[in-house]
Structure 1
Amino acid sequence: MLEMLSLLACFACAEAASLPAPGGGTPVDVELVLAVDISQSMDEEEFALQRAGYVEALRHRDFINAVRSGTNGRIALAYFEWAGVVRDDGVIAWQVIDGEDSADAFADKIASRPFRSFRGTSISGALGFGIGLLEKSAFSAPRRVIDISGDGPNNTGRPVAAIRDAAVAEDIVINGLPILIRPSPSVSRLDRYYADCVTGGDGSFVLPIYAASEFATAIRRKLIQEVSGLTDGRSLRVQDAAPVDCMLGERLRQRFSDPYFPELDR
């Protein structure tokens, strides 16, 4: 399984192998990867709210206290932006967060990034890239987490459930932040899609955002849970809808690009 995971990770994110990683196996309480959607389906308001939400959460006193409350009092954090692909200049490499100064420095790096977007939604590629970052981190942690946001289903690259399953088999937890402020009429239950097809692992959760006003609070709450490792009873494991098709995005993409092509409908 380890060889399979490495193959999937390298296939999806060859760039991760070239990123610098801290040496020495520094012990931390969690290795946390933030994977942030910048696909063209996100509009300028959603970009701005998402960016501000992460910056505010990292600087918030409750987040700092959660970091300091762990056994080691520090975490390892990495960040990247994704769409159909992950670009080298969209990555903020691993940094130890151990207090206000280091958290502010990381938040400053996110805040200074230019706003941009690209075509495609490859959740599988994003997860693969996150796996690669975790494999190359050189930290020592009892928990490894990928935190992924998005406003649509996977429609590019490998099937998302296969990458998710490979990650979970290696004890990587995947949590989801589906953005439902202006949901697509073709994907009525993106929260259920994230629950069934994207997230997984011990204690994993889905935390959907339905209104612009919820962004900052939801992101802060999610980061605090991921840092502390405590399960919040309010977090959503979607159970109130029928299971969804994990190939939904691929089917929609094929239908829109060639409505007369029948294979994916069989």
Structure 2
Amino acid sequence: MRPAIAALAALALCLPPATAAAQERDFVDLELVLAVDVSRSMDLHEQEVQRAGYVAAFRHPQVLEAITGGSHGRIAVLYLEWAGAALQEVIVPWSLVEGRASAEAFAARLEAAPLRDATRTSISGGLAFAARRFEESGVFGLRRVIDVSGDGPNNMGAPVDVVRDELVEQGITINGLPLLLGRPGGFLDIELLDLYYEDCVIGGPGAFLVPVTDISEFGTAIRRKLILEIAGAPAAVVPAAVRPAQAERPPVDCLIGERLWRSWMDN
């Protein structure tokens, strides 16, 4: 065999394993978007505690154990903040987390980012923006999850249940972190926000929510929720904090936030 041909043949034999290795590096156990509410109903102290909860979670040994214990031992995560229909911002872009050093880098970058707030509450806008970010992840996740927090119902943009259903059809799971911090009190607050999230916001395979009823619970709730999402084992969690007497309750009005806003504007 001529030397040049032999060299090409040898190179060809080497390509499949190298390609397979490259593809293997592109796979992660989870593509996770953390979509965090920064509407003005969240006061500065609540925002500080919420941010600190996410930072602490990525430094916690149990979260690291969940990340490294998966089939590929790594996840891709992006952190964004949302408020009104056109008010979304990526705070920490897609980051590969596969051990203590990369988790600490993600936590440090998030910790250093300034806090911000904005007006109105468009959960649907936040979800749609979050879903588009999966196109930019650069990896192949075994699962795609949006983890959305919020302290009130959707009051702007597309109906939240319509957007939720569209994303579920795309294979995206939406989990919720409803914040029930001593409300209702304002004109846009509603009772039983956890039930609203259950009926109107979360969806997809294994979808669940973890309600937060006191600001002191932020850190524990965020860490618990992340561990369950990363491990892919949310079936162990009751989907929402439904009281036994409400087992036969009517469905929540998914347009209640929009109706409250229109009522306030009219009056």
SS at match of 2:146: strand
Query: 1:214 and 2:247 equivalent?
Result: no
CA RMSD of aligned residues (A): 1.6
User: How many percent of aligned residue pairs carry the same amino acid?
Assistant: 47
- Note closer, same or farther for the CA distance 1:238–1:169 as it changes in structure 2 (3 Å cut): farther
Give the distance between the partners of 1:162 and 1:136, measured in 2 at CA: 23
Shift of 1:235: 4.1
Structure 1: gaps spanning 5 or more residues: 1-22, 260-266
Contact 2:208 2:237 in 1 (8 A): no
Give the equivalent residue in structure 1 for 2:46.
Answer: 46
SS at match of 1:52: helix
Q: 169-178 vs 90-99, which deviates more?
A: 90-99
Contact 1:31 1:143 in 2 (8 A): yes
Give the distance between the partners of 2:266 and 2:257, measured in 1 at CA: 14
Matches within 5 A, 1:34-183: 34-84=34-84, 85-88=86-89, 90-183=90-183
Output one character per residue of 1:235-260: Cα deviation in whole Å (capped at 9) or x when no partner.
4434434321000100000000113x
Shift of 1:82: 0.6
Contact 2:211 2:240 in 1 (8 A): no
Runs of 4+ in structure 1 displaced over 6 angstroms? none
Contact 1:80 1:86 in 2 (8 A): no
Contact 1:86 1:129 in 2 (8 A): no
Give the distance between the partners of 1:198 and 1:152, measured in 2 at CA: 11
Give the equivalent residue in structure 2 for 1:20.
Answer: none
Shift of 1:130: 0.9
Equivalent residue pairs, number: 236
Q: Structure with the greater relative contact order (CA < 8 A, sep ≥ 6): 1 or 2?
A: 1
SS at match of 1:156: coil
TM-score (ref. length: structure 2):
0.84
SS at match of 1:59: coil
SS at match of 1:34: strand
Query: 1:197 and 2:200 equivalent?
Result: yes
